[in-house]
Structure 1
Amino acid sequence: MRMLVVDAFTARPFAGNPAAVCLLQDAADPAWMQRVAAEMKHSETAFVRPLDDAEAEFGLRWFTPMAEVALCGHATLASAHALYSTGTVAPGEPIRFRTLKSGVLTVTGDGDGGGDGGGTLSMDFPACSPEPVDVPEGLTEALGAEVRAAGRNTQNDLLAEVADEAAVRGLTPDIPAVARIDARGVIVTAPAAQGDDHDFVSRFFAPRVLPGDGEDPVTGSAHCALAPYWARRLGRDTMTGFQASARGGYVGVAVRGDRVVLSGSAVTVLGGELRA
């Protein structure tokens, strides 16, 4: 079966967030998918299969090297890009992904539909607005930066606002201490510095589900929380977020009631055949 490695939320190779995309023909055993994801070692591996009852509709599941997840933005973007760039779906035709826990996710493309010739992909996702909570004990110490406000969303992600963009970029968190925080992951955010080409900045740490240093390079699902949070703070429904990991990536966000439209580019860096 065909497999691609796609860098998402970037227009250039070796930036953004890489995802492996496995183009299945039929349903696969979840234990096998987990082993493939562990072998790939990307933050997410997506498994896409066509559905018999409609055109341009696909089943979609996401696995980290350690666990299956309920929602993943960058691997959804990568999956749509793979379907467009391989000619599986015609340019401009909307793609509907049916997921186990996040409903139906629709992706549309402009330009050549999000293939390797260029263009932007837009994804219709559920908003996951964080509700204000007290700053959890140990969070400031784990991050090494003062947390000014905190929130928790339905994905059990904590959002932690810190002083400014420099504080986000300069974080060197104590990853074992972050793993002890009661959360799937911690979204650290701040408003953008004056004059930047984005409106807010973030980083995402999830050592409970990601190996190594536990930092995800660019996290679409985190922006389902960041978009409504900053829409309230900034009084704007359409913004651009920059995730300031070492690879970095831009995520366009537009709040539409209880939905969020995430947009970005993607590029294929590797294509091959999975034989196991």
Structure 2
Amino acid sequence: MTTSSGFPTSEVLRYTAFSADPAGGNPAGIVLDARAMSDAEMLAVAAEVGYSESAFVTEQDREGRRFRLRYFSPLAEVDFCGHATVATAVALAERLGDGPLLFVTNAGEITLDTGKDVSGTVRATLTSVPTRTRPATEAELDATLAALRWSREELDPAFPPHVAFGGVEHLVLAVGTRARLAALDYDFDALAAVMTRHAWTTVQLVWRESEELFHARDPFPVGGVVEDAATGAAAAAFGGYLRALGKLPESGAFTILQGEDMGRPSVLTVSAVPGGERIRVSGTAVVI
């Protein structure tokens, strides 16, 4: 069935974000016209699709390029999801043309710029809501490390554990070696319990290769998924964390490589908006 918007209401598009290769990136389901769908129907679609998140356009002003987006994991609604935002922006740009977009989410308004890169692939750059960060408590850290089966000695002392926000909250933990990051093997139920207790969306585990290059892994058991292949919301939160700690590169920009250990390599380009608290996160997206 096609509505007056011209977007099929029942069709679930499948895009992968933060990659130009369908075999990489983080997959997202997208319904471009979900105005007639109930919460239960959106959750059921997200569960059937089985990706970490799916995005649903529940209101639309195509002329003004303004859209209301909601996000669902297979288990619950999520206030904000970066990779599904980028994927939806690319899907809309392919149908409406390049240019700015505005997404109204549960976390606030997200502005986007869309356009083709040198390869002709559509790239979307989101600007986050204002970020914030705070040191993790000893209890939060101890419970998380126990679920991860990590020790404090394996953390990088240059990057203190924080709870960072860029639309939703993430615990940021930096490890001292790439090998420790690669050997992720955590207690799914225990970590889900900790994250549920503190309302964290993912735990962002990072390793710094250089001042402008980080590797990340993001467990997501609260969404019913072992790990995210690319987490745009966490990238925004991490950008705010680095800015608050005075650890941004001089350029204000850096790259996160994620999904490598899952076999779905992803590239997230992150930069600080000058003179404010917002972060830009950029990436391509393609149809799976």
Taking every aligned residue pair, what percent have the same amino acid on both sides? Answer: 31
* Structure 1 residues 139 and 26: alpha-carbon distance in aligned structure 2, compared to 1, 3 A threshold: closer
Match of 1:96?
102
Note if 1:125 corresponds to 2:128.
yes
Match of 1:274?
none
Match of 1:159?
172
For residue 218 of structure 1, report the CA deviation from its aligned partner. Answer: 0.8
Amino acid at match of 1:205: P
CA distance in 2, matches of 1:145, 1:25: 42
137, 146, 159: which is aligned to 1:141?
146
Match of 1:263?
282
For residue 193 of structure 1, report the CA deviation from its aligned partner. Answer: 5.7
Does the Cα contact within 8 Å between 1:165 and 1:193 map onto a contact in 2?
A: no
Match of 1:170?
183
Q: What SS does the aligned partner of 2:113 have?
A: strand
CA distance in 2, matches of 1:27, 1:73: 24
For residue 15 of structure 1, report the CA deviation from its aligned partner. Answer: 0.8
Match of 1:238?
253
Gaps of 5+ in 1: 270-276
CA distance in 1, matches of 2:25, 2:133: 24
Does the Cα contact within 8 Å between 1:165 and 1:190 map onto a contact in 2?
A: yes
CA distance in 1, matches of 2:255, 2:164: 21
Q: Count the aligned residue pairs.
A: 258
Q: Tell me which protein shows more helix as a share of its residues.
A: 2
Q: What SS does the aligned partner of 1:98 have?
A: strand
CA distance in 2, matches of 1:144, 1:248: 25
Note if 1:70 corresponds to 2:83.
no
Aligned counterparts, 1:18-57, within 5 A: 18-24=27-33, 26-52=35-61, 55-57=64-66
200, 218, 221: which is aligned to 2:233?
221
Does the Cα contact within 8 Å between 1:46 and 1:60 map onto a contact in 2?
A: yes
Q: What SS does the aligned partner of 2:230 have?
A: coil
For residue 171 of structure 1, report the CA deviation from its aligned partner. Answer: 1.7
CA distance in 2, matches of 1:106, 1:234: 22
271, 276, 280: which is aligned to 1:254?
271
Q: Which moved more, 1:29-38 or 1:244-253?
A: 244-253
* Structure 1 residues 166 and 228: alpha-carbon distance in aligned structure 2, compared to 1, 3 A threshold: farther
For residue 234 of structure 1, report the CA deviation from its aligned partner. Answer: 4.2
CA distance in 2, matches of 1:95, 1:123: 9
Gaps of 5+ in 2: 1-8
Q: What SS does the aligned partner of 1:192 have?
A: strand
Does the Cα contact within 8 Å between 1:37 and 1:64 map onto a contact in 2?
A: yes
Note if 1:150 corresponds to 2:161.
yes
TM-score normalized by structure 1? Answer: 0.85
Q: Which moved more, 1:130-139 or 1:239-248?
A: 130-139
CA distance in 1, matches of 2:70, 2:206: 28
Q: CA offsets, 1:64-122, max 9 Å, x none?
A: 0100001100000110111122x2x222x2111112x222111112227x9x9414211
209, 220, 223: which is aligned to 1:209?
223
Amino acid at match of 1:207: P
Q: What SS does the aligned partner of 1:224 have?
A: helix
Does the Cα contact within 8 Å between 1:164 and 1:192 map onto a contact in 2?
A: no
CA distance in 2, matches of 1:38, 1:25: 16
Q: What SS does the aligned partner of 1:208 have?
A: helix
CA distance in 1, matches of 2:249, 2:210: 17
* Structure 1 residues 55 and 219: alpha-carbon distance in aligned structure 2, compared to 1, 3 A threshold: same
CA distance in 2, matches of 1:18, 1:253: 20
Does the Cα contact within 8 Å between 1:224 and 1:260 map onto a contact in 2?
A: yes
CA distance in 1, matches of 2:20, 2:255: 15
CA distance in 1, matches of 2:283, 2:61: 29
